[in-house]
Chains A and B, each alone.
Chain A
Amino acid sequence: MKGDKLLYYSLLPFAAVVIAAFILLFAVISYTSAPAIKEYGWRLFTSSAWSPSETGPKSSKYGLLAPLYGTLVSSIIAVILALPVTISTVLVIEEYAPPQTRDLIGSLIEIMAGLPTIVYGLWGLEVLAPILKVHVYSPLHQLLGFIPLFSCRPFSGYNILTAGILLAIMVLPYMVAVARDAYRSIPMTYKEAALAIGANRYEYAKIMMGMIKPGLIASALLGFGRAAGETVAVALVIGNVPLISSCLFKPGYTISSLIANQFSMAPLYPYMMNVLFTGGLILLIIGVAANSVAVIMISRSRLR
C-alpha cells in the first residue's frame, strides 16, 4: 500500500538516528581509547600508578586497576545491600501492605528514582558520610576490627563503603521496579496453588521468590550496571585515592569518578584523554553486558 510505505519511510530516519547514535557512541569511545591501549597495553589494567607527565608518553604512568577495583567493589556492595531491601519492598507492596500504604511506598520509590543524582551526592558528602563515620564505622572498627574488612581505622567518612551505601540507596528504586514487574507477571493460579498446599506467608514468599529468580537476577544486574556508571555522587564520597585495600574504610576511586576529576586536565597531558576513554570503554562494556544479560533474564522470567 502506497500510504503505508510513505509513513514507514518518513518515520524511519528518526529511528535510524537512534541506531546511529548508539553505534557512534561505541565507535568514538573505542577509537579514542585505541592509542592508549596501543601505547600502554596490559599495564593499563594491571597497575594502579597515576603519574601524568607533560614531557611524553614514556615518562607518564597510567593504570586503571584501582579505579576498576573501586567500581566493582562499590557496585557489589550496593547490590548486596539493596537486594534484600528490594525483595522485602516488593513483597510488602504486592502482598502485605494495605492499599493506601502500598500507594505511598510506591510514590516514595518513584520520587527516589527521580531525584537528581547530584542531590544524593551533596547529601552523601555533607550528611551521610559524617554520620556513618561517627555512628557506624568507628563502633564497627572497635567491635569487629579483627575482620580484615573493618581492620583499618576510619579516618573519614569518605571511603568505598560509603560509596557502596549511597549507591545502594540510589539503585534501590530501579531494582524494585524490575523485581516488581517480575512479581506481577506471576499468574494468579500459581499463587493460589501455593496457598492451596497450606503454605504460610514465609513459605509462600519463598516459593514466589523462587519463581521469579531470573527477574531478581535481572534486577541485581541492572542495579549493578547503574551503580558502576554513576559518576558525580560517587565522586563526592569515595575519597578519590587510587588505592586497593581489603579494608572498606579506606578511600578509593571509581572509573567514572576518575573521569569526572581528571577530564579537565586531560588535554594537557599526552595520552591521558585516551586513557580516560579506555576507562569509558570499560564502563560501556560493563553497562551493555549487564543490560544484555538482564534482558535475557527478564524474557526468561515471563511466566505468562
Chain B
Amino acid sequence: MDHAIIVEKLNVWIRGNHVLKDIDLKVPQGSVTAIMGPSGSGKSTLLRSINRLVELVPGTRVKGKVMVFGRDIYSEDPYRVRKDVTMVSQTPNPFPHMSIYDNVAIGPKIHKLVKSKKELDKLVRWALEKAMLWDEVKDRLHEPPTVLSGGQQQRLCLARALALKPKILMLDEPTANIDPVNSKKIEEAIKALVRDEGITVIFVTHTPAQAVRVSDFIAFIYNGRIVEYGPSRELALNPTHELTEKFLRGEIG
C-alpha cells in the first residue's frame, strides 16, 4: 500500500512548550484516519503540522519530517502544500464578505484551476454536491453565507476545500460545533469522498464512537505522543495500551 503521508520524528514547540513529541505516523492512500485524544493532547497541532498552518502561531518551532506523496513539505512553499492538503476548521468560517458561490470559487480562482466561467460553475456545483449542500443552496448562490445555519456553513467550508480537488482533506473536529443532523451529513460526505474520489482523509475527534463510525485507522494521542495506532475496530475493541482503554471508558478526556 502506498502512503499518502509519512510523519517521521516530528517535534513541535510552541512558545517553549513541547506540544508534539517524536511523532511517527504513516497514513495509507485513500484511507480515513481519525486522530483521537483528550483536549490539549496535541491533536490539532498534529493536523496543522501536516499543512504547515502551525507556523502562523508566532514562536513555533518544528523539527522532524513530514512527507506528502514523497515530497518533504517543510522544504516547499507552504502555500503550495496547503492547496494539496486542505483543511476545514472546527468553527465554521465561510468568508462573510463573499457570496456562497464565491466562497467555493475563491480557491480554484486563486490557484488558476479553471479556464472558463463554465468550468468554474461546474466545479462549484461538484464541490457543493460532494459536500451535500447543493440542493439547499442552489437557489441562493449569490447570497452571503450568513443566511445559512451553522451546520450548512460548515458544509460550505467543506465545499470550499473540495473545490481545490485536494489529494488530502483534513478536518479539525468538523462536527464539534454543529447539530446531529448536520454531523451525520458531514460523516456521510466524508465516506463518499473516500469511496468515490479516492481522497485521503484525516480528521480530529474526541469521540471514540465517531472515530469508529467514520475511520479506517485511529491514532490515539495523549500528552503530545501517539500512544497507539491501528485499524479502527481493533483499536476500539482491544486497546493494547492502558491509556487508550481509560480514554475509551471515558475516564480521561
Contact = CB atoms under 8 A, between A and B. Distances in A.
A3 B78 CA distance: 10
Interface string B71-105: 00000011100000000000000000000000000
B117 to A, nearest CB: 27
The size bracket of the interface on B is under 10
A282 to B, nearest CB: 42
Contacts, number: 6
A2 B77 CA distance: 8
Nearest to B79: A3
Contacts of A2: 77
The size bracket of the interface on A is under 10
Interface in A1-42: 1-3
B141 to A, nearest CB: 31
Q: State the main secondary structure of chain B at its contact with A.
A: helix
A106 B111 CA distance: 47
Contacts of A3: 77, 79
A1 B78 CA distance: 8
A2 B78 CA distance: 10
A291 to B, nearest CB: 28
Interface string B169-199: 0000000000000000000000000000000
A3 B80 CA distance: 12
Nearest to B77: A1
A2 B76 CA distance: 11
A211 to B, nearest CB: 30
A3 B79 CA distance: 9
Interface in B36-86: 77-79
A137 B173 CA distance: 72
Interface string A213-238: 00000000000000000000000000
Nearest to B78: A1
Contacts of B79: 1, 3
Contacts of B77: 1-3
B112 to A, nearest CB: 15
A301 B47 CA distance: 39
A107 B137 CA distance: 40
A1 B81 CA distance: 13
A1 B77 CA distance: 7
A6 to B, nearest CB: 12
Interface string A170-204: 00000000000000000000000000000000000
6 closest pairs, A vs B, by CB?
A: A1-B78, A1-B77, A3-B79, A2-B77, A3-B77, A1-B79
5 contacts: A1-B77, A1-B78, A1-B79, A3-B77, A3-B79
Interface of A: 1-3
Interface of B: 77-79
